[in-house]
Amino acid sequence: MAIRALVWGENVHEQENAIVREIYPDGMHACIAGALAEDGGITAATATLQEPEHGLSEARLAQADVLLWWGHAAHGDVADEIVTRVQARVWQGMGLIVLHSGHFSKIFRRLMGTPCSLTWREAGERERLWVINPAHPIVEGIGPMIELPNAEMYGEPFAVPEPMETVFVSWYEGGEVFRSGLTWQRGGGRIFYFQPGHEVYPIYHNTQVRQVLRNAVKWAHNPQKWADPDAAPNRPIDAALEPLVEKGPRLHADGEEGLR
Ligand code: ZN
């Protein structure tokens, strides 16, 4: 069965900036979904900020194995209720791929629990994303690096928790470095942050970037979903697998504390 990807796009720059519209006439989200659909094992749908419930209703999220997130100018317009809904789905096992300026999205900051701040510069400079974990499935077929002739610089320090895996480290023409491909797990959900994607450069048309996106969807897909991560049932003493006598300080029915 195909992996069901859902590409969420903020869809603001495409409406306001002629350069972005020329590069992505159908929206960045459509271009990203097109990259995913090049793999017969992935089906890709799209959702945008402007749709009711930002296109992320319970029913739509229930159909998503992996959610991709591109946002930049309107993070604050995403309703907290939807963020909580997406977070619950990640805990249940939905994969999440956070792209470029999604580092400052509510959902990413919520899941990381840290500021997720970084340094940045817009100079159209060269970026080389070095593959530093060549055995990782996310970089299958990528080779030693991805070179982008024009990129927005994102530099360290990147205020995220220590990742599970570091897949890419970027070098920029101006001298900075950045951990540009990182993974985490939150509950049952696998999370990948991938730095490229500034809207005024045709980065999601780059064949290697498109390959990384497909690889990342496959990596983030967790078929072992967790039905209810919030469930925390008590397992009573008399139901323990082995005979068990309760020990330790406690308050007895007669009010006396301690062991008996
Ligand atoms: Zn940017």
Residues 6+ apart with CB under 8 A from 31: 24, 204, 205
For the chain, give the mean pLDDT: 95
Q: Which residues surround ligand 1, an ion (CB under 5 A)?
A: 101, 152, 198
Q: What are 199-238's pLDDT values in tens digits?
A: 999 999 999 999 999 999 999 999 988 888 888 999 999 9
The beta-carbon contacts of 110-113 under 8 Å, at least 24 apart in sequence, are 110/83, 111/87, 111/184, 111/186, 111/191, 112/160, 112/161, 112/184, 113/161
Mean pLDDT on 234-249:
88
For residues 41 and 214, the answer to whether their CB atoms sit within 8 Å is no
Hey, what's the torsion of the CAs at 19, 23, 24, 28, to 10 degrees? Answer: -90
Split into its structural domains, the chain has a count of: 1
pLDDT of residue 259: 67
Q: Is the pLDDT of residue 255 over 80?
A: no
Cα(72) to ligand 1 centroid in Å equals 7
Residue 120 within a domain? no
128 occurs within a structural domain? no
Ligand 1 centroid–CA 93 distance in Å is 28
User: How many whole angstroms from 98 Cα to the centroid of ligand 1?
Assistant: 13
Task: Taking residues 22-33, report their average pLDDT.
Answer: 98
User: What CATH number does residue 21 fall under?
Assistant: 3.40.50.880
Q: Summarize the confidence of residues 16-21 as an average pLDDT.
A: 96
The verdict on residue 96 lying in a domain is yes
Q: Which amino acid is at 62?
A: A
Taking only the tens place, the pLDDT of each residue in 52-106 is: 999 999 999 999 999 999 999 999 999 999 999 999 999 999 999 999 999 999 9
135 within domain boundaries: no
Q: Does residue 7 belong to any structural domain of this protein?
A: yes
Specify whether the CB–CB gap between 81 and 215 falls below 8 A.
Answer: no
Would you say residue 18 lies in a domain? yes
**Domain assignment present for 252:** no
- 101: closest CA among 76, 77, 127, 69? 69
pLDDT band of 24, cuts 50, 70, 90: very high
pLDDT at 250 > cutoff 90: no
Give the domain range for residue 25: 3-115+179-220
* Cβ atoms of 126 and 203 closer than 8 Å: no
Q: What distance in angstroms lies between residue 229's CA and the mean position of ligand 1's atoms? A: 34
What does the pLDDT read at residue 260? 63
